[in-house]
Amino acid sequence: MDRTLRRVTLAALLALSAPAQSASGEQEWPERLVGHGGPVMAIALSDDGSEALTASFDYSIIRWRMQGPEGTIVARLIGHNAAVNDVVFVPGTEKAVSVSDDGALAIWDLRENRLETLIEDTKDKVQDVVVSLDGRFAAAARWDGTARIFDIAGGREIARTEGHRGNVNAVAFSLDGRQLFTAGYDGTVREWPLDDGLIAGPSRLLHAHGWGVNVLAALPGGSLLAFGTLNGVTGVIDLPTGEVVELASQEHPVLSIAASPRAGWFATGSANGHVRVFDMDSGNLVEEYGDIYGPVWGLSFTPEGTQLYRSGLDDFVIRWQVAPRHPLEPIQSVYPRRFQTVSRAGPGEMEFLRKCSVCHTLTPDDANRAGPTLYGLFGRVAGTLPGYKYSRALVESDIVWTPETVSRLFDDGPDIVTPGTKMPVQRLKSVERRDALIAYLLQATAADGKTPLPGERQTTN
C-alpha cells in the first residue's frame, strides 16, 4: 500500500459542485432528511449530489431532492414487504435497486417513480446490494449463504456464488466489473472472477479474519478493498499483493462504509455510533465523530467529500460536516426514542412502546410507519383501514380485532394467527404482560373516546 499521505486542500474541496449556494456563496446541504416513519437503514447520494435515496425499517424508500434544511421528498417508493436494508442508484440510467428483509431485490424506474421489477426468492434476508459501474449488473448479499448477480435490464438473476459458511453480509464489484468480492459471517473475504456478469471460475480467498466481516468497499483506483468486521476492525486489502493492513480498530462492530473518490477518504460507522474517516493512501485516521445514541447503519459522502450523511435508529438522516469541522457539533439524534423509553408509568404502555411503537401510531395519522395506525383498532375488520397497503393475506382475512384476537396474535404469533402477512414475528407469552398491553390498547386506541365492544365492527376508521 502506498504510504504517502494524500493532501487534499480545503480550498480545492470547497470549490467543487454542490446542489445549492447561499447568498454568501457558501455551499448549502440539508441538515437532515426528514420523512421516514422508522429507523433509516441506508442512504445513497447521486453522483452529482442533487438527489438521494434512503431505505427504512418502515418498508419504504424515499427519493429526495437535496435542497432546503430537511430535503424535499420527490417520491415515496413502496413495494417491499419488510424493512428495506439497502438501496443504490444505477449509474447511467434512471433506475435504482433495493434489497430487503423480505428476501426480494427490487428494480425501480425513477422516471416514473414506480416499481419496475420485484425479484422474489426465499424469505432469507438480503443485507447489501451493489451495482457495477457500467450499470448493467447488481449483486446482492443474502443470508442463505449466497450472493446473487442480476441483469438489471433483463430483471433476472443470472448467477450465484456458493462457498461461504453462513450469512453473506457484503458484496462489492471491482471497478472494471471483472471481479465480485463477497464477505460473510464465516470471517472470510472472497474474490470471484466474472465474465459478462457470469461467474467464470472458482473463488480466491483474500482474507480469513476469524470474526465475521460485515461491510466491503472497493476503493477508487481499483487496487484496494476496504472491510469492516464484527469485532471492530477496519482493514484494507491490497489486491495485487494480497497484503492486509488493519487500521485503527475499536471494540464495537463496524456496520457501514462509504468512500469519497475526490477527497481520497473512506469512512466507517459502528454499532456504538462512532464514525471514522480514513485517508485511502496512508490509512491514517483523518477525522472522528461520536454519537452515543445508537448505531450507524448507513453512510454516504457528498461528491466533494466535505459532508457525510449518516443514518441509524432515528427516523431521519443527519449531515456531518467533515471538513472544515464545526467548533460546536450538537448531537441531533433523539434519545430516548419512542421504542427505547423505560420510565413510563404503566406496564401496558411499556409493552406498547417496546413491541408496537416502531411500526404503529395511536393517532389517526400513521406517521409513515411500517404498519397501519392502531387508532380505532378494536372492532375493526382486519385489512380494512383505507389508504394502507395490506398484504393479500390480511385483506382476505375475516378476523375482527377484539381483545381476544389481539391477545391471540401476541400469544401464538402473527405467523400462526395471520399467516402470509407482513407483520414481523414476535410473541408475548406472559399472560400478565399481555393483559396489561390489551388493557392499555383498549384505552389508547379508542376513536373519539369510545371503545367498541368486543365483536362490534368498526370499518370506517
DSSP, residue by residue, 347-391: HHHHHHHHHTTTT--SSS--TT-SS---TT-TTPBTT--TT----
H or E segment and range at residue 268: strand 265-270
Query: Could you tell me the CA-to-CA distances from 340 to 1, 271, 313, 440 in Å, in that order?
Result: 44, 16, 10, 18
- Confirm whether 330 is domain-assigned: no
- Confirm whether 5 is domain-assigned: no
Clarify whether residues 309 and 365 are in a common domain: no
Clarify whether residues 287 and 377 are in a common domain: no
- Confirm whether 47 is domain-assigned: yes
> Does 136 score more than 90 pLDDT?
yes
> What CATH number is associated with residue 373?
1.10.760.10
H or E segment and range at residue 294: none
Clarify whether residues 390 and 302 are in a common domain: no
The pLDDT value recorded for residue 421 is 78
> Does 369 score more than 90 pLDDT?
no
pLDDT tens-digit readout, 255-267: 999 999 999 999 9
Of 55-69, 203-217, 431-445, minimum mean pLDDT range? 431-445
Clarify whether residues 388 and 308 are in a common domain: no
The pLDDT value recorded for residue 249 is 83
Domain boundary among 268, 286, 321: 321
Clarify whether residues 302 and 436 are in a common domain: no
> What CATH number is associated with residue 225?
2.130.10.10
Distance separating alpha carbons of residues 449 and 305, to the nearest angstrom: 53
Query: What letter does residue 400 receive in the DSSP assignment?
Result: B
Clarify whether residues 353 and 303 are in a common domain: no
CA quadruple 424, 185, 46, 268: dihedral positive or negative?
A: positive
The pLDDT value recorded for residue 327 is 66
Query: Could you tell me the CA-to-CA distances from 110 to 52, 86, 105 in Å, in that order?
Result: 12, 16, 16
Distance separating alpha carbons of residues 130 and 98, to the nearest angstrom: 9
The pLDDT value recorded for residue 78 is 94
Distance separating alpha carbons of residues 67 and 310, to the nearest angstrom: 17
Clarify whether residues 240 and 358 are in a common domain: no
Q: 25: exposed, middle or buried (C-beta count within 10 Å: 0-12, 13-18, 19+)? A: exposed
Clarify whether residues 61 and 25 are in a common domain: yes
Clarify whether residues 179 and 74 are in a common domain: yes
pLDDT tens-digit readout, 110-129: 999 999 999 998 789 999 99
- Cell numbers placing 343: 420510565
User: How would you classify residue 7: left for phi > 0, otherwise alpha for psi between -120 and 50, otherwise beta?
Assistant: beta
The pLDDT value recorded for residue 187 is 97
Of 253-257, 268-272, 396-400, minimum mean pLDDT range? 396-400
Of 89-93, 140-144, 357-361, minimum mean pLDDT range? 357-361
The pLDDT value recorded for residue 284 is 95
- Confirm whether 354 is domain-assigned: yes
Phi then psi for residue 256, to 5 deg, are -150, 160
First to last CA, the chain: 63
Contact in structure between 239 and 225 (CB atoms under 8 Å)? yes
Distance separating alpha carbons of residues 354 and 137, to the nearest angstrom: 40
- Confirm whether 459 is domain-assigned: no
* Total domains in the fold of the chain: 2
Clarify whether residues 252 and 381 are in a common domain: no
- Confirm whether 450 is domain-assigned: no
pLDDT tens-digit readout, 408-445: 998 988 888 888 777 777 788 899 999 999 999 999 99
Phi then psi for residue 442, to 5 deg, are -60, -40
Distance separating alpha carbons of residues 238 and 274, to the nearest angstrom: 25
CA quadruple 41, 47, 49, 53: dihedral positive or negative?
A: negative
Q: Which amino acid is at 259?
A: A
The pLDDT value recorded for residue 20 is 53
Rg of the chain, C-alpha, whole Å: 23
Q: Which amino acid is at 46?
A: S
- Confirm whether 134 is domain-assigned: yes
Contact in structure between 138 and 153 (CB atoms under 8 Å)? no
Distance separating alpha carbons of residues 117 and 106, to the nearest angstrom: 6
User: Which residue, chain included where needed, has cell 406496564?
Assistant: 347
Distance separating alpha carbons of residues 179 and 14, to the nearest angstrom: 34
Greater model confidence, 297 or 16: 297
The pLDDT value recorded for residue 3 is 35
Parent domain of 28: 10-321
Distance separating alpha carbons of residues 214 and 37, to the nearest angstrom: 26
In Å, the largest CA–CA distance within the chain is: 74
Clarify whether residues 248 and 362 are in a common domain: no
Clarify whether residues 356 and 309 are in a common domain: no
- Confirm whether 291 is domain-assigned: yes
- Cell numbers placing 124: 432469507
> Does 45 score more than 60 pLDDT?
yes
Spatial neighbors of 409 by CB under 8 A, at least 6 apart, are 417, 418
